[in-house]
Structure 1
Amino acid sequence: MGSCNIDETKVPVIDFEDFPVQSQKLIEACEEWGCARIVNCHSILPASLMSEMKQVVRSLFDLPQEIKERNKHILPISGYAPLNVINPFYESMGMYDMSSPQDVETFCSQLDASPSQRDIMIKYTKAAHEVIMEIGRKFGEGLSLTKGDVFEGWASQLRIIKYHFRPENMGSTGLATHTDAAVLTLLHDDDCVGGLQVITKSGELVAVDPLPGSVLLIIGDAAVIWSNGKFHNAKHRVICKDTDAADRFTIASFLLGPKEAAIEAPPELLGPDRKRLYVPATFHELRKIRVHNNLHNGEVLDLVRAKP
């Protein structure tokens, strides 16, 4: 896809302070784009906290290798992922459920976080999870669902990511084209270093440039099941795009799904003329199918499609 032209069209922008006016715009963005730029969510996730968390992330990646390797995997690719032959520019760390105080504490302890770093991470994970919960409430409003807190009790995985970009890497792939397995991703992007590209339904590449103080919502495979096919799972990738390339730091919060129950469409999205399109499945089942079959671009949905 490296030879494709890049469309500079901007992805939809959703103002978090302009609801319910923006309700339909949010749903349309999820249906047509599978992503949206969210602005003005600072009443939940303050800009100062976002900046502080970025500084913590930078310092954690400066830790000695043996300390970073303490960040063990609970799910596949939930712990420390070092640079390797397949992903020579991509390094990441994470925790399984940032809504769990115990998981946050374990992550901090693994990496010998200072009291100040712990305080920032506790505040950030709580706030980012609440933004995700609020997105769920806004989905509920836009889709006329009876239940208000539609994602209450669902697990949210956190990953912090460093792309080791250098000028000589320009044009190289930092993260190959893929869809996210989760219901949704809340991406706290790098404020200065770009490289994220979204692929539209028609196959066009759209550059998603940094916008400090905002977050990017990306719809994943599991949301297609949950929305009964209404939402679009956005394919995306990261490339080294700048001649003055520098390290790129991002924070991704993934809403995985219920901790025990299956992901399935709410009753309001089903009916005589709207049959269930996908077999209910837990996130862990979907993830297992995806990993076992090496499916990274939404193909897993074909394997859980309901029979007519």
Structure 2
Amino acid sequence: MTPNLSVIARENQQRNSEMAIPVIDLNQFPDSEEYKKLREASEEWGCFRLVNHKIPLTLMSEMKMVVRSLLDLPMEIKKKNTDVIAGSGYMAPSKVNPLYEALGLYDLGSSQAVQTFCSQLDASSYQREVIEKYAGAIYEQIVDIGHKLAESLGLKTGFLNGWPCQFRINKYNFTPESVGSCGVQMHTDSSFLTILQDDENVGGLEVMSKSGAFIPVDPCPGTLVVNLGDIAKAWSNGRLLNLKHRVQCREATIRVSIATFLLGPKEEALEAPPEFIDSEHPRLYVPFTYDDFRKLRISKKLHAGEALELVRIKS
């Protein structure tokens, strides 16, 4: 990434520090001050903007074009993108989110899963090549961020081994009638953390601050937005913030974004490391698997962090 993007992101932040998410610069690691900023952003905001990341700008641009073409496919083809776990396949517009649809891929780190995804959608050789390159680059980046987050909290990084990633490409079909309405309802992600390549031209993403106010996250081309989910809050024994966020319709146009989710342990139960437990910070949550937690969220229709209360240890 070119340095001017870091400058743009920081200028946007400085213009109104109360109304802009923190900026984390990967070029500043392993500086201890950047680790501190990462930890504070994750505890106080649950999100940050990532600059000087490892995803080439040309690849980001190519991937967006591929994503747009896949989401424009006929419905009968998109429906071939079937679930592996709930929400990992094609999601058609619904009563809750009538302006939104998405395609999904479970286990982004598996080359076989990537190939299956491409085959389901009859992807061309060029589209396959771009998807494979992007999958490899974004998987490496999300694991790197997970490791840095653990290090910022004073932990070793081996806990991420074997954690699957889910990939979702999103399309918002905004119309003149929908301006001012919600493109996607407020929610937290069920995952540990999310990397979002947002639409560089069309805004709409809003995050909730600790005060309860929604703050717009305006487009900043070439950067990525990272946010933490429910698994991060449980894993950290409540220390990290699971971000509430939504997408609002600001203009009548198509909006496209690309989200990658680092989920959680594939089979074993998740529980907070002993480093986060002491007499002043007793264990908050019972051990649970990601799959069970995801099913709990869906069955109870609790999509904004409330499901964590159902796995909380009763005092």
TM range (shorter): over 0.9
- 1:245-285 C-alpha deviation (Å, 9 max, x unpaired): 31000001111111111122122222343321111211111
For residue 209 of structure 1, the aligned residue among 193, 210, 218 is 218
For residue 39 of structure 1, the aligned residue among 51, 54, 57 is 51
| Ranges in structure 2 where 5+ consecutive residues have no aligned partner | 1-16
More displaced 10-residue stretch of structure 1: 116-125 or 269-278: 269-278
Determine if the alignment matches structure 1 residue 224 to structure 2 residue 233: yes
Rate the CA distance shift 1:15–1:239 in 2: closer, same or farther, 3 A: same
Q: Distance in 2 between matches of 1:211 and 1:170?
A: 22
Determine if the alignment matches structure 1 residue 102 to structure 2 residue 100: no
Q: Distance in 1 between matches of 2:207 and 2:124?
A: 36
Determine if the alignment matches structure 1 residue 135 to structure 2 residue 145: yes
Rate the CA distance shift 1:201–1:8 in 2: closer, same or farther, 3 A: closer
Determine if the alignment matches structure 1 residue 155 to structure 2 residue 167: no
Deviation of 1:165 after TM superposition, in Å, equals 1.0
Q: Is the 8 A contact 1:140 1:148 kept in 2?
A: yes
Determine if the alignment matches structure 1 residue 248 to structure 2 residue 260: no
TM-score by length of 1: 0.93
5 Å matches for 1:283-294?
Answer: 283-294=290-301
Determine if the alignment matches structure 1 residue 120 to structure 2 residue 127: no
Deviation of 1:85 after TM superposition, in Å, equals 2.7
Q: Is the 8 A contact 2:96 2:185 kept in 1?
A: no
Rate the CA distance shift 1:149–1:16 in 2: closer, same or farther, 3 A: farther
Q: Is the 8 A contact 1:80 1:94 kept in 2?
A: yes
Determine if the alignment matches structure 1 residue 176 to structure 2 residue 185: yes
5 Å matches for 1:1-16?
Answer: 9-16=19-26
Rate the CA distance shift 1:282–1:25 in 2: closer, same or farther, 3 A: same
- Aligned pairs, how many? 297
Q: Distance in 2 between matches of 1:52 and 1:182?
A: 26
- 1:105-146 C-alpha deviation (Å, 9 max, x unpaired): 10000001111111111111111111111111111221111x
Q: Distance in 1 between matches of 2:204 and 2:270?
A: 32
Q: Distance in 2 between matches of 1:74 and 1:302?
A: 27
Q: Is the 8 A contact 1:81 1:93 kept in 2?
A: yes
Q: Distance in 1 between matches of 2:95 and 2:237?
A: 38
Determine if the alignment matches structure 1 residue 77 to structure 2 residue 87: yes
Q: Is the 8 A contact 1:8 1:207 kept in 2?
A: no
Residue 19 of structure 2 aligns to a residue whose secondary structure is coil
Moved over 4 A (4+): none
Q: Distance in 1 between matches of 2:98 and 2:187?
A: 17
| Ranges in structure 1 where 5+ consecutive residues have no aligned partner | 1-6
- Root mean square deviation of aligned Cα: 1.4
Equivalence for 1:296: 303
Q: Distance in 1 between matches of 2:298 and 2:94?
A: 18
- The structure whose residues are more often helix, as a share, is 2
Rate the CA distance shift 1:246–1:8 in 2: closer, same or farther, 3 A: farther
Counterpart of 2:157, as a letter, is G
User: Taking every aligned residue pair, what percent have the same amino acid on both sides?
Assistant: 53
- 1:173-195 C-alpha deviation (Å, 9 max, x unpaired): 10001111111111110000000
Counterpart of 2:143, as a letter, is M
